[in-house]
C-alpha cells in the first residue's frame, strides 16, 4: 500500500472511530437530560398508570445499553427513528431542514471564503501599515463580539430601523425562486459572514506570513519580483494546506454552529428543528440532530486532512 493511501485509510478510520465515540456521548447526554417525554406528551394531569404504559410503549424502560445498540443499528441502516411527540419519521422531517441549513451555509461560504482570502492577502501585502492594522483591528473586534449580539444589532439597524432587509427569515419557503429565498436569508447570511470572516482572514494572514519567512521568498525578492507576484505566485500556493484547514473548520461551523442564528432569525433549518424538540424532550430527534451535526463536522475536518496530505510533499513522500 502506498504511503498516501495508507494515510488516507488511517484518517478515514480515525474519523469513523471518532464518530462512534461521539454517538456514545450523544446518547449518554440525552439520557441524563432532565424531564420526561411521557409527562410532556400526556401533561401534568396524567395518571401514573398512563405514564407507565406510555413509557413501556416507547421503550423508555429498556436498559440504556440495549436502547443504544438498537438506535445505532437503525442509524447504520439509515433509520434515524421516529419522533416521540409527532410520530413523524425523523429522516424525512430532517431532510428539508438540512437542505435549508446547507443553503444558508452555502451562500455564507460563497461570500466569506473569497473575501477572507482577499483580505488576508491584502493584509500581508501592506503588512504593518494602515490597511493591515485596520483589517486586523476590525476583525479582532468582530471575533470578540458574541454572534447573537451581532445578529440583534444587525437586525435592529438594517431590518427595523432602516428597513433595508427582512428582519427575520419567517417568509422563507423552500419552493420559492432563488431570488426570493436570497432576499429572505440576506440578514442571516450577513451575520454568519461577519462571524466567520474574521477568523478565516486572520488565519490566512498568519499562514502566508509564515511562508514569507522561507528562503525561496528571499530569493524571489532578490530577483526583483514585485511583492504582489511574490505573495500570489510563491507564498499563497505554498500556504494552501493551512488555509484549507481553516476554511474547512469554518465551513463545519457554518453547518453546525448556525443554531443560534437560525433561532434568532426564525429560520426553518436544523438548528431551529433541534431547539424546538429539545424543549419537548423529544430524545430521538435530539440524538439524530446531534449525530448529523457531528458527522458533518468530522467529515469536513476529514476533507481538510485529505487535502493537507495531497498538497504536502512531505506527507506524500515520507522518509
Burial of 162 (0-12, 13-18, 19+ CB in 10 A): exposed
- The model's pLDDT over 65-123, given as tens digits with 9 standing for 90+, comes to 888 888 889 888 888 888 877 778 888 888 888 889 889 989 998 999 899 889 988 88
Q: What's the confidence (pLDDT) of residue 317?
A: 62
Contact assessment for residue 114 and residue 193, using Cβ atoms and an 8 Å cutoff: no
Distance CA 36, CA 51 (A): 10
Position of cell 432563488? 178
pLDDT confidence tier of residue 313, bands split at 50, 70 and 90: low
- Residue 256 burial (CB < 10 Å; 0-12/13-18/19+)? buried
Mean pLDDT of 226-252: 80
Dihedral sign, Cα of residue 305, residue 311, residue 313, residue 317? positive
**Cell of residue 2, nine digits:** 502506498
Give tens-digit pLDDT for 4-54. 788 888 888 999 999 999 999 998 888 776 666 677 677 777 778 887 887
Nearest to 270 by CA among 141, 104, 121, 130: 104
Report how far Cα 286 is from the mean position of its chain's Cα atoms: 17
Structural domains for the chain: 90-316 (1.10.3720.10)
User: Is 70 exceeded by the pLDDT of residue 195?
Assistant: yes
Amino acid at each position: 500500500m502506498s504511503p498516501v493511501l495508507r494515510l488516507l485509510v488511517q484518517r478515514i478510520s480515525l474519523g469513523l472511530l471518532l464518530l462512534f465515540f461521539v454517538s456514545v456521548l450523544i446518547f449518554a447526554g440525552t439520557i441524563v437530560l432532565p424531564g420526561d417525554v411521557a409527562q410532556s406528551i400526556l401533561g401534568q394531569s396524567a395518571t401514573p398508570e398512563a405514564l407507565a404504559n406510555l413509557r413501556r410503549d416507547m421503550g423508555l424502560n429498556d436498559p440504556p445499553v440495549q436502547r443504544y445498540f438498537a438506535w445505532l443499528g437503525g442509524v447504520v441502516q439509515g433509520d434515524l427513528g421516529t419522533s416521540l411527540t409527532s410520530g413523524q419519521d425523523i429522516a424525512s422531517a430532517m431532510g428539508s431542514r438540512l437542505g435549508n441549513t446547507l443553503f444558508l451555509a452555502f451562500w455564507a461560504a460563497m461570500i466569506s471564503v473569497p473575501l477572507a482570502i482577499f483580505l488576508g492577502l491584502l493584509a500581508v501585502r501592506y503588512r504593518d501599515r494602515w490597511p493591515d492594522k485596520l483589517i486586523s483591528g476590525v476583525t479582532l473586534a468582530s471575533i470578540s463580539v458574541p454572534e447573537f449580539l451581532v445578529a440583534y444589532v444587525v437586525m435592529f439597524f438594517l431590518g427595523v430601523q432602516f428597513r433595508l432587509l427582512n428582519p427575520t427569515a419567517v417568509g422563507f419557503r423552500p419552493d420559492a425562486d432563488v431570488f426570493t429565498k436570497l432576499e429572505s436569508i440576506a440578514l442571516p447570511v450577513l451575520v454568519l459572514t461577519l462571524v466567520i470572516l474574521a477568523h478565516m482572514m486572520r488565519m490566512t494572514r498568519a499562514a502566508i506570513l509564515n511562508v514569507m519567512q522561507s528562503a525561496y521568498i528571499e530569493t524571489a525578492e532578490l530577483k526583483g519580483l514585485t511583492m504582489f507576484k511574490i505573495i500570489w505566485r510563491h507564498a499563497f500556493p505554498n500556504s494552501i494546506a493551512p488555509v484549507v484547514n481553516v476554511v474547512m473548520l469554518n465551513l463545519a461551523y457554518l453547518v453546525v454552529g448556525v443554531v443560534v442564528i437560525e433561532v434568532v432569525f426564525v429560520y426553518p433549518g436544523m438548528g431551529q428543528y433541534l431547539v424546538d424538540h429539545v424543549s419537548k424532550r423529544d430524545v430521538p430527534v435530539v440524538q439524530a440532530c446531534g449525530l448529523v451535526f457531528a458527522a458533518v463536522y468530522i467529515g469536513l475536518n476529514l476533507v481538510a486532512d485529505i487535502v493537507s496530505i495531497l498538497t504536502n510533499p512531505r506527507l506524500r513522500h515520507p522518509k
